[in-house]
Amino acid sequence: MKVSIKGFITCKSAEDYIDCADNYAVNKSIHRFSVSDGVSKSFFPKVWSEILVTQFVERTDLKETELIKVCQEEWQKRIDKIVKSFETDPTKWSTRTLYNRKEPALATFVGLQFFEKEKKWSASALGDSFLFFVPMGYKDYQKELVKLSSKVEPIEFDNFPDYLTSIGDSHKGRPKEKSGNLKNGTFYLMTDALAEWFIKEGENAIGKITVWKSQADFERFITQAIEQNQLTNDDCAILCIELSEVEKTGIDYSKIQVTDLNDLITDQEAEKEKIKQKKLEEEKRKQEKEAEIQKSKEFETTQNESQTPESPVKEIKEVPPSEGFISKGINAVKGFLTSKEKEENKKTELQEEKTSAEEVDIEKQTLEQQEPTTEEPSNSESTVAENQNSENDKNEEPEVEKIEEEAKSEKIEPEKLEPKEQPKVDSKAKNIFDKF
């Protein structure tokens, strides 16, 4: 007999694989297969479902009740260790509270075993996880389809399935069992969301499952089915075990393609870390770029400040006095005053020379008039001469005064020289200029 196995598992959309509470296990050496769905509202359901499937496929020496006891002990050890690690974490107070209250984990379960010599199969199920068997070459799908679950007809899916508990004997429901002869066909073990879809789809479900060649195909289908409201958004797990050439002795596992949930978790965590590192690198590059831009702006500001013209006052202070604007202004004023003074002195000298010449002429005329005659005048003539001289003296006095007045009036005023266009200076420069 040849056996081919495909197994796919995934979490709810918008959750991570590490949050997935579904689990499955395969042990080809003892021909055991199992699927379990941890009830999400219970205490550490993921751990409980993992222990159930693992212990079932590894322990053939225990009866069902003994197996459950072993699973409960294992669960308690692992939870003790987990809660102890939370002692220093104040955010885990609610977990510690549930632990102290001895809250249990809950899970549904399906287990299948092949008996090689007898060419028989046996299975048990509790809760809304299902086992289906579709014989090869069936003629009437509904009649030949084998279903196994603790749910009763008509089957309805809700949030209150039968389950196994991790503490005590307070299990809900009784496991259902079924067995039969091995035939060519396919066993499907699946959790509740897929089981509900499988029942609704009927025969069409077989063709769709056949298309799943990889984990990527499976996840693509789950995503589309959820978006189209054909599938409940829940954790999903399925094992497809195809039998062929049953008439031959022995069991040959020709192909096994089972996705390991732990591998999915590891890969996803690594991808998240990679994304985190990439974001950190991008943030670092962004900060470096911003720092570079800021440095460039500061450099430009420094350059602009160094190239900005200094204030006029500062320029005046820095220019040597011999070349400064104020010095040039002072020199120009001094030159102007000196030239004006020279011009006035020249005119004064000319006027003095003219006045001296006039005085010399007057003196000559006076001397000529006063020269004595050779003949001595008579008394009458003397008297007339004296009178004439006194009259001449009287006449000469106003003449001299007139000449002096004319000399005064003829004094030439210095020409008003128009100042040269003065350079503009600021208020500080003007104050300095006024001191001169």
347 and 238 share a domain?
no
Torsion region of 193: left, alpha or beta (phi above 0 gives left; psi -120 to 50 gives alpha): alpha
33 and 182 share a domain?
yes
319 and 187 share a domain?
no
In this structure, the number of other CB atoms found within 10 A of the CB of residue 240 comes to: 19
Q: Which residue has the tokens 């200094």?
A: 310
pLDDT in tens, 169-205: 999 999 999 999 999 999 999 999 999 999 999 999 9
pLDDT value at position 405? Answer: 57
254 and 329 share a domain?
no
Q: Which residues contact 73 (CB under 8 A, 6 or more apart)?
A: none
Domain endpoint, select from 238, 259, 280: 259
Amino acid at site 320: P
Q: Mean pLDDT over residues 137-163, rounded?
A: 93
Select from 319, 397, 407, 423 the least CA-distant residue to 359.
407
In a domain, 250, yes or no: yes
In a domain, 246, yes or no: yes
Domain endpoint, select from 218, 237, 259: 259
Q: What is the rounded CA–CA span in Å between residue 345 and residue 341? A: 6
173 and 65 share a domain?
yes
In a domain, 300, yes or no: no
Residue with the bigger pLDDT between 27 and 315: it is: 27
Q: Taking all residues of the chain, what is their mean pLDDT, rounded to a whole number? A: 82
Residue with the bigger pLDDT between 152 and 91: it is: 152
Q: Mean pLDDT over residues 107-130, rounded?
A: 97
> Is 119 buried (19+), middle (13-18) or exposed (0-12) by CB count in 10 A?
middle
pLDDT value at position 429? Answer: 45
What's the pLDDT band for 263 if we cut at 50, 70, 90? very high
114 and 42 share a domain?
yes
Task: Find the range with the poorest average confidence among 39-43, 228-232, 407-411.
Answer: 407-411
Q: Mean pLDDT over residues 43-61, rounded?
A: 96
Report the CATH number at residue 58. Answer: 3.60.40.10
What domain range includes position 353? 315-361+404-417+424-436
Mode of pairing for the β-strands spanning 164-165 and 106-115? antiparallel
pLDDT value at position 91? Answer: 79
In a domain, 356, yes or no: yes
> Residue 309, preceding bond cis, omega within 30 degrees?
no
200 and 114 share a domain?
yes
251 and 321 share a domain?
no
pLDDT in tens, 381-430: 444 444 454 444 444 455 545 545 554 544 444 444 444 444 454 554 44
Domain endpoint, select from 212, 240, 259: 259
In a domain, 352, yes or no: yes
* Maximum average pLDDT range among 126-130, 356-360, 418-422: 126-130
Q: Mean pLDDT over residues 305-331, rounded?
A: 55
pLDDT value at position 267? Answer: 95
Select from 219, 212, 304, 319 the least CA-distant residue to 261.
219
337 and 255 share a domain?
no
> Is 98 buried (19+), middle (13-18) or exposed (0-12) by CB count in 10 A?
middle
Contact 138, 161 (CB under 8 A): no
In a domain, 18, yes or no: yes
pLDDT in tens, 264-275: 999 999 999 999
Number of residues in the chain:
436
- Which pTM does this prediction carry? 0.67
How many domains is the chain built from? 2
Supply the DSSP symbol for 163: B
211 and 323 share a domain?
no
- The percent of residues in the chain predicted with pLDDT above 70, rounded, is 71
pLDDT at 151 over 90: yes
pLDDT at 235 over 80: yes
Select from 20, 14, 17 the least CA-distant residue to 235.
20
**b/e code 147-166 from CB counts within 10 Å (16+ = b):** bbbbbeeeeeeeeebbbbbb
Torsion region of 99: left, alpha or beta (phi above 0 gives left; psi -120 to 50 gives alpha): alpha
In a domain, 31, yes or no: yes
Task: Find the range with the poorest average confidence among 162-176, 198-212, 280-294, 319-333.
Answer: 319-333
Q: What is the rounded CA–CA span in Å between residue 350 and residue 341? A: 14
40 and 156 share a domain?
yes
Select from 174, 173, 184, 114 the least CA-distant residue to 144.
184
pLDDT at 346 over 90: no
pLDDT value at position 303? Answer: 79
- The percent of residues in the chain predicted with pLDDT above 90, rounded, is 60
H-assigned helices in 64-212: 64-84, 93-100, 141-144, 192-201, 204-210
In a domain, 298, yes or no: no
